[in-house]
């Protein structure tokens, strides 16, 4: 049952009909007794995985199970930043693959994800910051990723309201700049992938929590859920903060710790900031949404937690960082705050991997930086599940790197606030 395309004509037609004739964006079917592939977790990554499985690998009988509601987790609990300026080749290639998919995504899934390539600045405040920035920019250029080193004067010229004076407590010495980076509308990414996957026959089943796994002879046979037993020979888990909980059902230990990550948005302002600004040293990042809100984020709370809130002193720290960069925002009122649960791995890189249980795959450990990877993550994970072997781009992100020692230490390398 193909749906009507969103187009200029359909928008115009609906304009005359009070917008009342739209179809439901995705179907809500009852779960079947068995599927070829089940994806656990209907966030951006899970839905993208289902979409690419159906589209590129011709698998028809797919379900996505979600314990809450679609896009109710980290997909809608982040600061929507998209970039690919990572240092190590493995990470840079994975995120760049994703960025390329972002560039055609609205067209491909016929859903406006409001991807806006307004550029991303990573500020440097110390000599060492600037050396790291130069190294990372050069590494990016060698990987054909757009990147520039800017001086403090150039930063000030491009972001006029930033405090670039030498008298600041942490003076800005320069920045790296990725012009193709930017932001996207996070809810739209989940809704768009859900609609596109549903159109290809994927069953999206909300309010369906996985409570157990059926494993026989080292092979996955199906899942126990709050809506009954569902059989499947292949299961992909994409549950972010709850990955360890799922892995435990299969007797697998993961190198993850789940932490709260908070963000907040201000009241709507006139356009004041046309780009994305991140600073590792003062530890904050912000952009302005198309609605005019300042979208502000910082680092994780230090301790393990599954509660989707965080400590107040982390908010204070974040606000201090933003006011350090933009003193003019000190009187801006904040509208709301939220917390997500991020699954942090020891090397700050994701795990996209087969497991010791045949037919059971995990895509987790994205930590604080999963949103930008949504289409790329789904794309390579679909390949891993469909072919039972990793895509060349996620080969290095296997679980066994924590036994072999081949870590991809992006923690310090990405120049991001962790």
Partner 1 sequence: MLKFHCPHCNEVREEEEFSYAGEAFIARPAAPDACRDDEWGDYLFMRKNSKGWHWEQWLHAAACRKVVAVKRHTFTHEIGGCWTLAEGKRIYLEEQA
Distance CA 332, CA 72 (A): 28
- What are the tokens at 332? 């801006």
Question: Mapping DSSP to helix (H, G, I), strand (E, B) and coil, where does residue 323 land?
Answer: helix
Distance CA 111, CA 312 (A): 37
Q: Which member of 141, 153, 304, 328 binds partner 1 (CB under 8 A)?
A: 304
Closest approach, Cβ 319 to partner 1, in A, equals: 15
Q: Which member of 61, 117, 151, 245 binds partner 1 (CB under 8 A)?
A: 245
- What are the tokens at 107? 């067209």
List the beta bridge partners of residue 199: none
Residues 6+ away with beta carbon under 8 Å from 234 = 36, 37, 38, 220, 359, 360, 361, 385
Task: Based on the shown chain and the rule CB under 8 A, indicate whether residue 302 belongs to the binding site for partner 1.
Answer: yes
Q: Which member of 32, 60, 253, 387 binds partner 1 (CB under 8 A)?
A: 253
Task: Determine the interface stretch with partner 1 among 54-62, 97-105, 367-375, 399-407 (rule: CB under 8 A).
Answer: 399-407
The backbone torsions φ and ψ at residue 305, rounded to the nearest 5 degrees and listed phi first, read -160, 145
Q: Which member of 145, 194, 254, 286 binds partner 1 (CB under 8 A)?
A: 254
Task: Based on the shown chain and the rule CB under 8 A, indicate whether residue 138 belongs to the binding site for partner 1.
Answer: no
Closest approach, Cβ 242 to partner 1, in A, equals: 7
Distance CA 409, CA 418 (A): 13
Task: Based on the shown chain and the rule CB under 8 A, indicate whether residue 312 belongs to the binding site for partner 1.
Answer: yes
Task: Based on the shown chain and the rule CB under 8 A, indicate whether residue 405 belongs to the binding site for partner 1.
Answer: yes
Q: Which member of 181, 255, 339, 340 binds partner 1 (CB under 8 A)?
A: 255
Q: Which member of 198, 258, 275, 355 binds partner 1 (CB under 8 A)?
A: 258
List the beta bridge partners of residue 177: 121, 148
Task: Based on the shown chain and the rule CB under 8 A, indicate whether residue 368 belongs to the binding site for partner 1.
Answer: no
Query: CB 394: neighbour CB atoms within 10 A?
Result: 24
Nearest of 262, 276, 256 to residue 348 by alpha carbon: 256
Nearer to partner 1, 108 or 224 (CB): 224
Closest approach, Cβ 40 to partner 1, in A, equals: 15
Nearer to partner 1, 304 or 320 (CB): 304
What stretches of 259-373 show up as alpha helix (H) in DSSP?
Answer: 312-325
Task: Based on the shown chain and the rule CB under 8 A, indicate whether residue 292 belongs to the binding site for partner 1.
Answer: no
CA distances to 83, 183, 242 from 148, rounded to whole Å, are 13, 19, 38
Distance CA 178, CA 182 (A): 9
Q: Which member of 1, 2, 12, 307 binds partner 1 (CB under 8 A)?
A: 307
Q: Which member of 9, 22, 69, 303 binds partner 1 (CB under 8 A)?
A: 303
Distance CA 47, CA 238 (A): 9
Task: Determine the interface stretch with partner 1 among 27-35, 122-130, 242-250, 381-389 (rule: CB under 8 A).
Answer: 242-250
Task: Based on the shown chain and the rule CB under 8 A, indicate whether residue 338 belongs to the binding site for partner 1.
Answer: no
Contact set with partner 1 (CB under 8 A): 242, 244-245, 253-258, 302-307, 311-313, 346, 402-405
């Amino acid at each position: 049952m193909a749906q009507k395309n969103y187009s200029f004509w359909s928008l115009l037609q609906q304009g005359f009909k009070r917008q009342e004739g739209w179809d439901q964006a995705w179907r809500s079917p009852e779960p079947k007794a068995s599927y070829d592939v089940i994806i656990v977790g209907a966030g951006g990554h899970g839905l993208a995985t289902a979409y690419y499985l159906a589209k590129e690998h011709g698998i028809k009988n797919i379900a996505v199970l979600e314990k809450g509601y679609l896009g109710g987790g980290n997909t809608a609990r982040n600061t929507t930043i998209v970039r690919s300026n990572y240092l190590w080749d493995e990470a840079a290639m994975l995120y760049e693959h994703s960025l390329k998919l972002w560039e055609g995504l609205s067209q491909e899934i016929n859903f406006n994800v409001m991807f806006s390539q307004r550029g991303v600045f990573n500020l440097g405040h110390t000599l060492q910051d600037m050396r790291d920035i130069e190294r990372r920019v050069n590494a990016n250029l060698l990987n054909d990723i757009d990147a520039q080193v800017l001086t403090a004067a150039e930063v000030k010229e491009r972001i006029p309201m930033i405090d670039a004076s030498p008298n600041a407590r942490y003076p800005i010495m320069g920045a790296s700049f990725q012009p193709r980076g930017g932001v996207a509308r996070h809810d739209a990414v989940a809704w768009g992938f859900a609609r596109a996957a549903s159109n290809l026959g994927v069953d999206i089943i909300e309010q369906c929590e996985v409570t157990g796994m059926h494993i026989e002879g080292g092979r996955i046979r199906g899942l126990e859920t709050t809506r009954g037993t569902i059989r499947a020979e292949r299961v992909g888990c994409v549950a972010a903060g709850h990955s360890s909980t799922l892995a435990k059902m299969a007797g697998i230990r993961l190198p993850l710790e789940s932490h709260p990550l908070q963000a907040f948005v201000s009241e709507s302002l006139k356009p004041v900031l046309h780009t994305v600004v991140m600073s590792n040293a003062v530890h904050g990042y912000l952009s302005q949404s198309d609605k005019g809100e300042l979208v502000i984020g910082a680092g994780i709370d230090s301790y393990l937690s599954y509660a989707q809130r965080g400590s107040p002193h982390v908010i204070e720290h974040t606000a201090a960082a933003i006011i350090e960069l933009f003193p003019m925002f000190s009187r801006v009122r904040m509208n709301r705050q939220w917390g997500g649960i991020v699954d942090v791995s020891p090397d700050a890189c994701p795990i996209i991997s087969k497991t010791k249980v045949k037919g059971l795959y995990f895509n987790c450990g994205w930590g604080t930086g999963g949103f930008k990877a949504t289409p790329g993550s789904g794309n390579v994970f679909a390949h891993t599940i469909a072919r039972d072997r990793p895509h060349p781009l996620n080969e290095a992100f296997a679980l066994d790197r924590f036994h072999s020692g081949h870590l991809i230490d992006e923690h310090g390398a990405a120049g991001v606030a962790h």
